[in-house]
Structure 1
Amino acid sequence: MTGQERKPIKLLLIGETGNGKSSLGNFILKKNVFMVSDSPNPETTEVNGDYGGYDRNNVFVIDTPSLQESREFNERFLNDMVNFVKEQGGIQGIVIVLNYSINTISNNLKIMIQILSNVFPFKDFWGHVCIVWNKCYYFFSQDQLEMQKKNKKNKFLPELLKLTKEPTGTEGSVDVQMYYVDSQPDEEGNNIRSENEIERLIKWGSKLTPINIEVVEYKIITEEKEQTESMGNNGKYIITQLKHMKREIRIYCNGEIRYGNWKIIKVESNEITTTSDIPLTVPTRIVVAATAVIAVGTIIYFVGKAISLW
């Protein structure tokens, strides 16, 4: 069978800025398609995809940005991604690109997985997901690697699977494949271990039936965050406020994704407050009417009502 006749293998890369999604994409494709930088600022700002070279000309990789604070950026990126996948007729696999040295799940990744599990067929979602632990450098010993593999499988993976709930109740039987890769080795380094891992990844993808965007019902995902602000100095201590905020991410039946504005749900302060009915104005054009509780130490403002200006 010639290279042109081989079944296409299409992979969607997701992950945080700095984890090496673009360099991994180039490594998989065996050609430099995606822009790579050592800068902490994201190099990838748009969804892009291409086929590989040489013996990888049947492998198609879709590179994506990471989620940002900007509502407008996230909407554009996510809807571009949905349309890109539709145009390709679906994908075989979703590749979560993580940093080998970090064993925590970022909030952006949590939200991204929740979104993807709602725009792709939910029942088969985890069967089409794998993890690439990038920056697993070629000079790391095999003993160290084996120890990390056990740790990531027994501790990290269960936490990841909790982000969605399989309707069949078979969470314990979900087997998410993990690969360990150095996508930017030194020129003189022996990186055969990473090359073998990519071969395993491609073999995994080749066995999967493509999945496409499929939203069967309207969904709402709630994203939450905390924001600390300095309110000045009263001569004794720095006055701070801790704002608890949330916003809705709405997924429509046509696959369209829309973000709501951030809403303040609670404010905590270390200042003594005696004023009630304090109006709070935030940059996202949300007007919140709050009632202050008089207390010494931590003060909690319980939100009376919020007006969201969409």
Structure 2
Amino acid sequence: MSIEGLKQIKLLLIGETGDGKSSLGNFILKNDVFKVSDSNKTVTKYTGGYFGEGDRSDVFVVDTHGLNDSSGFDNKNIQNIVNCVKATGLQGIILTMNYNVARFSTNLKQVVKVISDIFPLKDIWKHVCIVWTKCYNYSQPDEDDDNTRTEEEIIKLIKWARRLKPIDKEEINKLSGEYKEIKYEEKEEREKIEETKYNTTYKITKYIRCKKVKNSGEVIYGESTEFNSRIITENKTNKETSECVVM
């Protein structure tokens, strides 16, 4: 529970599966309330939040399903985020990014697009903070368990959040209440790129776009963006297929 009289801080964690959202949430709250795992498989199955402990008891953190593949962008997960924000309010969005990933992945681009789709509010990006996760110190292995630097950065993060004005709850309710559902549609396009006597090679590109259905029945589609692609080769004689995924 929060300390009575203190201004509550509401933070939403968003990012890819396996990038340490839940671990970050536990660090912020000084309490191991979110389930974590070392694997790249989704551990957080639902959107939910907790208050912190001690001097963090006024901090409320919401953890979300990892937006790492098409299952993360389905209507249920997106709607759960909207419903949770409507119920609790919001001040800041924390976007987690794996420090060891050298490029801005397609999945992460889609995560950024999800934020824009769900919260099409003025100055929304002033409420977003990027946190680099998994910044391991390989040069000093004896200090692996020293979280001093992490704690210092989290204190800075909380100070940033305390300075934020809460995102207008009525505006959030108005925007989200305008739509009966928000979901993402997928489609695949097949392009023949090579053909021989025995094999045919195709490039399969998956596209994803946001679909918002208003209570009036009007449907609004977002722009289609490339999510991923793969190369498949089909054998003409026995229909065997080999694949190579390109992210």
Deviation at residue 11 of structure 1 after TM alignment = 0.6
Tell me, in whole angstroms, the C-alpha distance in 2 between the residues paired with 1:103 and 1:132.
15
Tell me, in whole angstroms, the C-alpha distance in 1 between the residues paired with 2:159 and 2:190.
44
Confirm or deny: 8 A CA contact 2:137 2:144 kept in the other structure. Answer: no
Counterpart residue type for residue 40 of structure 1: N
Q: Secondary structure at the match of 1:60?
A: strand
1:119 lines up with 2:118 in the alignment = yes
Counterpart residue type for residue 94 of structure 1: I
Q: What CA deviation, in whole Å up to 9, does each residue of 1:7-55 have, x standing for no partner?
A: 1111100111111101111111001111111122111121111101111
Tell me, in whole angstroms, the C-alpha distance in 2 between the residues paired with 1:3 and 1:248.
42
What is the 5 A alignment of 1:14-29? 14-29=14-29
Confirm or deny: 8 A CA contact 1:223 1:249 kept in the other structure. Answer: no
Change (3 A) 1:86 1:269: closer
What is the 5 A alignment of 1:12-161? 12-67=12-67, 68-70=69-71, 74-88=74-88, 90-138=89-137
Confirm or deny: 8 A CA contact 1:11 1:91 kept in the other structure. Answer: yes
Tell me, in whole angstroms, the C-alpha distance in 2 between the residues paired with 1:39 and 1:204.
31
Tell me, in whole angstroms, the C-alpha distance in 1 between the residues paired with 2:102 and 2:155.
24
Deviation at residue 107 of structure 1 after TM alignment = 2.1
Confirm or deny: 8 A CA contact 1:215 1:253 kept in the other structure. Answer: no
- Could you say which residue in structure 2 is the equivalent of 1:7? 7
Change (3 A) 1:20 1:220: closer
Tell me, in whole angstroms, the C-alpha distance in 2 between the residues paired with 1:228 and 1:234.
18
Structure 2: where are the runs of 5+ without partners? Answer: 225-230, 237-247
Tell me, in whole angstroms, the C-alpha distance in 2 between the residues paired with 1:187 and 1:50.
30
- Could you say which residue in structure 2 is the equivalent of 1:149? none
Deviation at residue 113 of structure 1 after TM alignment = 1.8
Counterpart residue type for residue 201 of structure 1: L
Tell me, in whole angstroms, the C-alpha distance in 2 between the residues paired with 1:57 and 1:187.
29
Bigger shift: residues 127-136 or 214-223: 214-223
Deviation at residue 101 of structure 1 after TM alignment = 1.4
Tell me, in whole angstroms, the C-alpha distance in 2 between the residues paired with 1:196 and 1:203.
11
Q: What CA deviation, in whole Å up to 9, does each residue of 1:53-108 have, x standing for no partner?
A: 1111110111011233238x6210110110000000x2111100011111322222
Change (3 A) 1:6 1:246: same
Q: What CA deviation, in whole Å up to 9, does each residue of 1:127-185 have, x standing for no partner?
A: 000011011125668xxxxxxxxxxxxxxxxxxxxxxxxxxxxxxxxxxxxxxxxxxx9
Q: Taking every aligned residue pair, what percent have the same amino acid on both sides?
A: 44
Q: Secondary structure at the match of 2:70?
A: coil
Tell me, in whole angstroms, the C-alpha distance in 1 between the residues paired with 2:40 and 2:83.
28
Q: Secondary structure at the match of 2:135?
A: coil
TM-score by length of 2: 0.72
How many residues align? The count is: 216
Confirm or deny: 8 A CA contact 1:138 1:190 kept in the other structure. Answer: no
Q: Secondary structure at the match of 1:3?
A: coil
Q: 1:198 aligns with which of 146, 154, 172?
A: 154
- Could you say which residue in structure 1 is the equivalent of 2:175? 215
Q: Secondary structure at the match of 1:246?
A: strand
Runs of 4+ in 1 over 4 A off after TM superposition: 138-141, 185-188, 216-229, 232-235, 257-260, 268-271
Counterpart residue type for residue 203 of structure 2: L
Q: 1:248 aligns with which of 180, 190, 209?
A: 209
Structure 1: where are the runs of 5+ without partners? Answer: 142-184, 263-267, 274-310
Tell me, in whole angstroms, the C-alpha distance in 1 between the residues paired with 2:63 and 2:190.
30
Larger Rg over CA atoms: 1
Q: Secondary structure at the match of 1:4?
A: coil
Confirm or deny: 8 A CA contact 1:115 1:221 kept in the other structure. Answer: no
Confirm or deny: 8 A CA contact 1:111 1:223 kept in the other structure. Answer: no
Q: Secondary structure at the match of 1:112?
A: helix
Counterpart residue type for residue 248 of structure 1: R
C-alpha root-mean-square deviation of aligned residues, in Å?
Answer: 4.1
Confirm or deny: 8 A CA contact 1:10 1:93 kept in the other structure. Answer: yes
Q: Secondary structure at the match of 1:81?
A: helix
